[in-house]
Amino acid sequence: MGTETLILLVLLFPLIGGILNGTIGKNLSETVVGTIGTLMVAIPFVISFSIFLSLDSVVNVPLFSLLKLTDFSLNAGLQVDALAIWMTMIITGIGSLIHIFSMGYMKGDPGFYKFFTYLNLFIFSMLILVLGSSYFMLFFGWEGVGICSYLLIGFHYNDKEKGLLNTLAARKAFVMNRIGDLGLLIGCFLLINLFGSLEFSVIAEKMKSLSIATDSVAIIGITLCLFIAATGKSAQIPLFTWLPDAMAGPTPVSALIHAATMVTAGIYLVVRSNFLFELAPYTQHIILYIGLATSLVAAFIAMRQNDIKKVLAYSTVSQLGLMFVALGLGSYTVAIFHVTTHAFFKALLFLGSGSIIHANHHEQDITKMGGLKKYMPVTHLVFLLGTLAIAGFPLLSGFFSKDEILAAGFVHSPVIFSLLILSASLTAIYMFRMYFLVFFGQFRGDHHTQEHLHESPSVMTLPLIVLAIFSVLGGALNLPDFIVSNGSHWLDHFLNHGTFGLDKIHPHHIETSSAVGIMIGTSIITFLIIGISYWMYVSKQKVTKEEHDFTGWEKLSSKKLYFDEIYNALFVKSVEWKASKVLPFVENRILVKGIGLLTQVISFSGSQIRKIQTGILSSYFFWMILGIVGLISYYLIYFKLWNF
Amino acid sequence: MELLIITVVLGLISFFVPRNSIKLFGLAGSFVSAAIALIHLINFETGSSVSIFETTEMPFGLTFQIGYDGLGLMMIALTNLIVPIILLSNYNNSATSENRVFHALVFFMQFGLLGVFTAADGILFYIFWEFTLIPVFLILYWFGKGTNKVLLKFFIYTLVGSLAMLLSFIALGLKANSFAYSDLLAVHLPAKEACWIISGFLLAFAIKIPLFPFHTWQPDTYTTAPMSGTMLLSALMLKMALFGMMKWMIPLAPEGVAEIKWLVISLSVIGIIYAAIICIKQQDIKRLFAYASISHLGLIAAGIMVFTKNALVGASVQIVNHSLIAIGLFLVADILESRLKTRELSHMQGTATLAPKFGFWFAVIAFASVSVPFTAGFIGEFTLLKELTKFHFAVGLLSATTLVFGAVYTLRAYQLSMFGAPKNESFEDLRWNEILVFILLTIAIVGIGLFPQFIADLVGPSLDKLIIIFNETTTH
């Protein structure tokens, strides 16, 4: 079968899985539902892997035309290139593992079949997003993943205590995403106006012939709109506050959607549009600073979060910020490299936290855990590997990918570089604080929970082990050339050769001496942080305070820098004030009263005139006159206004 | 001819059908009319215009011409397919569904609507336009909860608008010495005169749609009307105005469009945002959907005023889409109101747990109304917003905020009524007819969402003609 057919199968399987589980899943056993759901993602992984092995050129698969307009058509079509197939493999690969994990984690949930339906539909939408051949298809998938994310965050909507809170978080996520979507939509319209098409290939062709000036208004407008879209999906300042709240969803959802795949859609969008961003250094600067600021702010907040999933959520925001820094510096392949390794270790950490939460009777507060090392040996081991990977422990996957971003910053400016080092160090600090508090010391939860502490079943630990292996070895995808002489920077080359636009951009690799220097420097910092954390939390047995005991900077961190409160006061309250006070006043006091007065005048004068004319003049006729009078006066005012 | 006559016949027979079988008779009759519309749709040759009846031998330049082209046929098919769905939704509301007069009124209403969509003569159009008011007013008066004040407001309001339209027709007709559509089209007007004439139409249509600030009759009327009345009003009657703008107002006085374009578009955009913000804190679910309707329609009206082919195609898709969604939303509101005896969102919490099927189908309609992929709204909104952005960036941007606001209020309404721990002890889940309605709506919404080209092909040639007329006059 040709690539065209195979790629359609990749898309169709999850859709069929979703439909199957959604319609008849209710009557099937959990094992069957889970197996169907998992297979419908695992098979596409195998297929996409085979496509990946044989892919040598960009394959376009036009499907059908939805709507032909005079100057433009809404077409459905797919495009397979290096970037698309790489993302597809991440989505289906990590997706399969998370599906397997969910079979254990969601066991006994009354909405088991619904969960797998939504997951499969999410995979389907996400695949459309990365495989679409145009911005229209991308938007299609973009909206689709937003809905699945909404449904899955609010999955436990009828929970007695947290039901409404879950749905509020879901709505917040959806609405904030929609603000980003607005950017994407407007960006699409601007693209149509400029290029007359939304097809990536057509726009790419026209870029050559149109010779658009660097930093022209049109290109800055388009790239800014696209970046706004990216800040929504990828949780960057100012639209990042939804992601930590999205942790209200079941943990596998956090791992799949809110860490490994959907939130990287913004990165994908920018990389896909690299040829546009390359012409807009102005926007690139904005991306750089927003990414850097987000990375630092989120890392700072993560320092004093006590909810295990919140720490990981802010960590995700921070890591996404680092990826945007890479994009802002024009290192697109580096960003995708970090997307890849991050997908491994963050999925691992989230699933690991899921395993911990599962064992702790759904307790998520790390002050109520401790000493779990001896109860959950497998989870402990993989969690340790994940923590080491994200903290940049030498030779693990995160070490290499983060190092590339640091190197790009090093070339750009010393200030940016030192801030990146700061962000990376903060990552190690909050991660090891969490790790030691959870696994070392004495168990601090209640007695009942302690009795039931147990290692999770193998259906849950198996995916963890696989992810752990990848988290450790993932760096091998893109080794620097002073480590291996042959086959260095494999991922860079793969993406550069098979993705439009990237073939024009040659990543500048820094000198070997600086590169080695940075690696040694960061390794020393990481070792120091691990040592100090061990001394603080294990040797001195320091336990973090309860949330309400924090003061000073700790309070700022634990209160999330008051972002939610500020947004509430600035935007939510003002719209709600308009909705509940101002507009009803306009509506009821001005418009309704005004019209009411008019009808009263009409009926009153109607009755008066009827008296005078003794019913000869029908009221119908009277209204007619009044209509004329009304029109005349309307026009007198109107034309006067017009002449100004 | 059978297209129109069947509704009158059905209406008349309704008076004599035994009471216990009127429900079935109404449903069956409406399905027959739907089938006839479908036959017309199948036999229709793209781009042609079909004359149903024609005579010019009448006094005062009056003519009696009815017929349709693609655009008219879309509206005819919409009317004849929506009426059975309305009757099906209404199947279990015994107060109306077992009433003979009610059914007669619905069929007369349908007759009036078909007349409006087929009339090819100004005065005839006006007569049908006014005629539709009578049955719908009686439905509201006899079967609704509206006070006389509310009904009077509705009646006076729409009547004032219609009279302005009549004046415009008379002024045009005197110039053309005829009221036939083709003759009226041929009249060339000085800009100022055209302005007068177009504003006569505008008043009628702005009230009916309704546009801000002419909308104040609408929320009260919608909330107090019986479900079927609200559906007739929102799904069909106000579409007369959008159709009127496309086929009558702009082509008849294109010289005046430049003058009022910005006024109407501004009002539409204000309406989109204004109504959406009111929805955000609205506690009454039916009133919320009424305002949401204002917001959705503002977008269509703005698109029509831009008057490009793409915008009109988008408007056509969105007209059909809005009818389907309006039926769905008002059915949801009625299910909640009739079973909980309240329209307050705060009393509905947790209904999805008690009635999972209802929770599911409400979610489908809610998502359709926020225009997610695979629904007709996704295509319609995309096309309309694209054209508005092309027309003017600020207009496009402001209109596109409906994306965000729509999500806020629709999901809020859904969550407050469906999610959380149940507040009520029990809630009867959907009945067969309600499920059937939701299934039919979903098929239509998703069908158009995937194959909107069908509508574009149907209306395309008619729109081309209108645009040629418009461009010829305005470029001279």
Chain B partners of A153 at a C-beta cutoff of 8 Å?
none
Average pLDDT, stretch A193-200? 89
DSSP string, B188-200: ---HHHHHHHHHH
Nearest to A599 among B156, B196, B199 (CB): B156
On the question of pLDDT at B81 being above 60, the answer is yes
Residues in a beta bridge with A74:
A67
Is the confidence at residue A467, as pLDDT, over 60?
yes
* pLDDT tens, residue by residue, A426-455: 999 999 999 998 988 888 888 888 888 888
Q: Give the total number of structural domains in chain B.
A: 1
Instruction: Report the alpha-carbon distance of residue B281 to residue B22 in Å, rounded.
Output: 41
Residues of B with Cβ-Cβ distance to A184 under 8 angstroms: none
Instruction: Compare all CA atoms of chain B with the CA of A225 and give the residue at the minimum distance.
Output: B397
Q: Residue B65 is inside which H or E element, if any?
A: strand B64-68
Instruction: For residue B30, give its domain range.
Output: 2-475
Per-residue pLDDT at A621 exceeds 80:
no
Over range A511-524, report the average pLDDT. Answer: 88
The answer to whether A155 touches A166, Cβ cutoff 8 Å, is yes
pLDDT > 90: what percent of chain B? 53
Residue range B137-142: mean pLDDT, rounded: 89
pLDDT band per the 50, 70, 90 thresholds, residue A606: low
Closest CA–CA distance from residue B1 to any residue of chain A (Å): 32
CA distance A131 to A374: 45
Pairing mode, strands B64-68 and A73-80: unpaired
Least confident of A131-135, A640-644, B294-298, B389-393: A640-644
pLDDT at A57: 84
Compute the distance between CA of residue A514 and CA of residue A526 in angstroms, rounded to an integer.
Answer: 18
Whether A205 shows a pLDDT value over 90: the answer reads: no
**How many H helices and E strands in chain B?**
23, 2
What residues of A are in contact with residue B421 (Cβ under 8 Å)? 158, 160, 163
Q: Any idea which residue has 């469906």 for tokens?
A: B418
pLDDT tens-digit series, residues A27-73: 888 899 999 999 999 999 999 999 999 888 888 898 888 888 888 88
Single-letter amino acid, residue A142: W
State residue A568's pLDDT score: 80
Q: Do A491 and A477 touch, CB atoms closer than 8 A?
A: yes
Shortest Cα–Cα distance, B418 to chain A (Å) = 9
pLDDT, residue A615, reads 46
With 60 as the cut, is the pLDDT of residue B255 above it? yes
The predicted pLDDT at position A631 comes to 61
Pick from A522, A504, A511: nearest CA to A481: A511
Rounded average pLDDT over A3-11: 90
> Between A147, A158, A642, which is nearest B353 by CB?
A158
Question: Does A616 score more than 50 pLDDT?
Answer: no
Q: Which of A361-370, B1-10, B51-60 has the lowest mean pLDDT?
A: B51-60
Is B167 close to A69, i.e. CB distance below 8 A?
no
Which one is predicted more confidently, B90 or A560? B90
Q: In this complex, which of A67, A189, A591 lies closest to B213 when CB atoms are compared?
A: A591
When comparing pLDDT for A291 and A634, which is higher?
A: A291
Q: Which pLDDT does position B3 carry in this prediction?
A: 85
**The pLDDT of residue A641:** 45
A597 interfaces chain B, CB cutoff of 8 Å: no
| Cα–Cα distance for residue pair A196/B45, rounded to 1 Å | 31
- Interchain contact A193–B (C-beta under 8 A): yes
Name the residue in chain B with its Cα closest to that of A632. Answer: B196
Contacts of A110 in chain B (CB under 8 A): none
Q: Which residues are CB-neighbours of A31 under 8 A, at least 6 positions away?
A: A103
Reported as a pLDDT band with limits 50, 70 and 90, residue A617 is very low
Q: pLDDT at position A573, please?
A: 80
Percentage above 90 pLDDT, chain A: 44
- When pLDDT is averaged across residues B266-290 and rounded to a whole number, the result is 91
Q: Would you tell me how many other CB atoms lie within 10 Å of the CB of residue A505?
A: 16
- What pLDDT is recorded for position A644? 37
- Position A494 confidence tier, pLDDT thresholds 50, 70, 90: confident
Report the range of poorest mean pLDDT among A633-642, B1-10, B406-415.
A633-642
Taking each helix axis as running N to C, give the angle between helix A82-105 and helix A332-359, from 0 to 180 degrees, rounded to the nearest 10.
0
**How far apart (Å, rounded) are the C-alpha atoms in residues B138 and A99?**
58
pLDDT of residue A551: 77
Q: State the nearest Cα–Cα gap between A628 and chain B, in angstroms.
A: 7
Share of chain A above pLDDT 70, in %: 92
Alpha-carbon span A491 to A273, nearest angstrom: 19
Taking a C-beta distance cutoff of 8 angstroms, is the pair A208, A275 a contact?
A: no
Residue of B nearest to A169 (CA): B415
Between chains, do B412 and A157 touch, taking CB under 8 Å as contact?
Answer: no
Residue B333 has a pLDDT of 93
Task: Say whether A635 and B196 touch across the interface (CB within 8 A).
Answer: yes
Residue A633 has pLDDT above 80, yes or no: no
Q: What is the pTM of this model?
A: 0.90
Residues facing residue A556 across a β-bridge: none
pLDDT at A642: 44
Query: Shortest Cα distance from B444 to chain A (angstroms)?
Result: 15
Mean pLDDT of B223-245: 93
* B263–chain A nearest CA distance, Å: 10
Chain B's closest residue to A179, CA to CA, is B404
More confident residue, B267 or A485: B267
Q: Which of B159, B163, B367, B379 to mutate to test the interface with A (most CBs of A within 10 A)?
A: B163
CB within 8 Å: B420 and A630: no
pLDDT digits (tens, 9 = 90+) for B194-216: 888 998 999 999 999 898 888 88
> Chain B residues with CB inside 8 Å of A188's CB?
386
Q: Which of A88, A134, A95, A87 is nearest to A116 (CA)?
A: A95
CA dihedral of residues A200, B445, B376, A234 (deg, nearest 10): -60
The encoded tokens of residue B387 equal: 């054209």
Say if residue A628's pLDDT is above 70: no
- pLDDT for residue A513: 84
* pLDDT category of residue B93 using cuts at 50, 70 and 90: confident
What pLDDT score does A489 carry?
A: 83
SS3 content of chain B, % helix, strand, coil (to 5): 80, 5, 15
Q: Say yes or no: A630 contacts chain B, CB-CB below 8 A.
A: yes
Rounded to the nearest integer, the mean pLDDT of chain A is 86
